Chain A
Amino acid sequence: MKFTETHEWINVKDNIGTVGVTDYAQKELGDIVYVELPKIGSQVKKGQEAVVLESTKAAADVYSPVSGKIVEVNTALSNASEKVNKFPESDGWLFKIQLSDLQEVDSLLDKEAYQSRIP
């Protein structure tokens, strides 16, 4: 699993990355009450906003850690957005992306580097 400075994680297997937000991010956001997921088939660039998480406090953008095509979204969240709070780094995943440039993963943070960046 790799991480971004903007608190996303990505798990890449066979050219497909599963993306979510970190436990730190969900704690900062508070109760997530609605998740606006991207359209399947849409293209996103690394660093581009792909998901909006609405919490009781505010809306927060989730940025794609890599470039590629959205191939799957976590539809279970449409009725159970609290999964992002409860299981941010497993069942609360947001979308799967087919990477257009595998090398982009190398520039992401490993777990240790990410954890040293959060307060």
Chain B
Amino acid sequence: MKTALYEHHRALGAKLIDFGGWEMPLQYSSIVHEHQIVRSKVGIFDVSHMGRILVEGLGAEALLDYLSTNQIADKPDGTATYTIWCDEKGKCIDDLLVYRVSSTQFFVIVNASNREKDLDHLLHYSAGRDVTINDRYHEDGILAVQGPNADMLIAKIFPDAEALSPMSFIVDSYEGEPVVISATGYTGAGGVEICGPNSIIVKLWEELLKEGEEYGIEPIGLGARDTLRLEAGYALYGHELSGKIAPIETVSAWTVKMNKLDFLGKSALQKLEASKQKRREYPVVLGGKGIAREGFPVYLEDRQIGVVTSGTFSPTLNQAIALVLVDKNLKVGDTIEIQIRQNRCPAEVVSLPFIGTVRH
């Protein structure tokens, strides 16, 4: 599949990769360079492979509250809430943002690889409720404009979006079409994400690149998106979250509100919480040389306690960082070891984020 900006990526000389069936830009220049542009200036990402689903009706709020580990009911209009969805067994289906326009109008933005699964999930649980589910998968595109200069750039084109507080959004218009502008992102660098119909998304991309020149804007690929999100300590579905991991085991465990009256999977999570089976994810900084890659074994005193879920080189820290999933409780300052080929590399448990601002 291709986004509306595919030809633009090619024209910009992007190296393209397959990402969940989508031909997406991995990098335009270099991952480290693009990473640094987002941390120091501003970058623009095409994230149109993610999907938007409208959830509307008198029963929309109750449905989304029931499906989400985080609290959705009674949140203010114009806010976005990060949450996990899990199944009745308490395993992760996806992580996503729930946007509240009003008490009867919501939409969610979900991961590319889970678009069909999430849509089926919503349709299944909306049966018998006063809710309509409409995906915008073929109509909408999504851009992320991230970095310290993002707000200035956005204010030039969308004056009403100036001074959006974190996790809030407005519905503005561009070329006569409605666009959602939210102070959200996946980089820890600040900025916005913009969602609107494909008919205007290409023009908006072009205008942002042109108007952003004075702020040092560059297009950013999925490679830097991954190093940025990892520095910020954000989970990536398929790595920190999956059908084999429970939400309370993840770096996103803070989204799980066990004091909610009920939500799908709650009783399974209560059982897991009370058991000795619960694992935990921790951020670590590597002491030695080498990069901890996904799946590398993690040791504590010669016993394997888990695996690396994501690992990379942090261009900001100039050190290798990783997230690990282990069956042992660790605390900040503890040292574990990661098997990197023939060597055991020491790594220290730290707190999140590695870099950037905390989303919640």
User: A residues bordering B, Cβ < 8 Å?
Assistant: 30-31, 33-34, 36, 52, 54, 56-59, 78, 85
Contact = CB atoms under 8 A, between A and B. Distances in A.
Interface string B204-233: 000000000000000000010001000000
A56 B289 contact: no
Given A30-B31, A34-B290, A56-B32, 20 more contacts: A30-B27, A30-B223, A31-B31, A31-B33, A33-B291, A33-B313, A33-B320, A34-B289, A36-B289, A36-B290, A36-B341, A54-B290, A54-B313, A56-B31, A56-B227, A57-B223, A58-B293, A59-B291, A59-B293, A78-B289
A45 to B, nearest CB: 17
Nearest to A78: B289
A31 B30 contact: yes
B341 A52 contact: yes
A56 B227 CA distance: 8
Contacts of A34: 289-291, 313, 320
B312 interface: yes
- Interface size band for B: 10 to 19
B291 to A, nearest CB: 5
A82 B227 CA distance: 17
Interface string B22-34: 0000110011110
Interface in B278-303: 289-291, 293
B111 to A, nearest CB: 20
A56 B290 contact: no
Contacts of B33: 31
A34 B312 CA distance: 11
B31 A54 contact: no
A57 B290 contact: no
CB-CB nearest 5 A-B residue pairs? A33-B313, A56-B31, A31-B32, A54-B291, A31-B30
A56 B313 contact: yes
Contacts of A59: 291, 293
Contacts of A36: 289-290, 341
Contacts of A85: 30
Nearest to B227: A56
A34 B293 CA distance: 13
A35 to B, nearest CB: 9
Nearest to A54: B291
7 contacts: A30-B27, A30-B223, A31-B31, A31-B32, A33-B313, A56-B32, A59-B291
Nearest to B31: A56
Nearest to A28: B15
Contacts of A58: 293
B136 to A, nearest CB: 32
Contacts of B341: 36, 52
B226 to A, nearest CB: 8
Nearest to A52: B341
B12 to A, nearest CB: 16
Nearest to A56: B31
Contacts of B289: 34, 36, 78
Contacts of A31: 30-33
A85 B289 CA distance: 18
Nearest to B32: A31
Interface in B5-35: 26-27, 30-33
A103 to B, nearest CB: 31
Contacts of B27: 30
B222 to A, nearest CB: 10
A34 B318 CA distance: 11
A56 B223 contact: yes
Contacts of A52: 341
Contacts of A57: 26, 31, 223
Nearest to B15: A30
Contacts of B30: 30-31, 85
A27 to B, nearest CB: 9
Contacts of A78: 289
A78 B32 CA distance: 17
A30 B227 CA distance: 14
Contacts of A54: 290-291, 313
Nearest to A58: B293
Nearest to B289: A34
Interface string B288-332: 011101000000000000000000110000001000000000000
A75 to B, nearest CB: 13
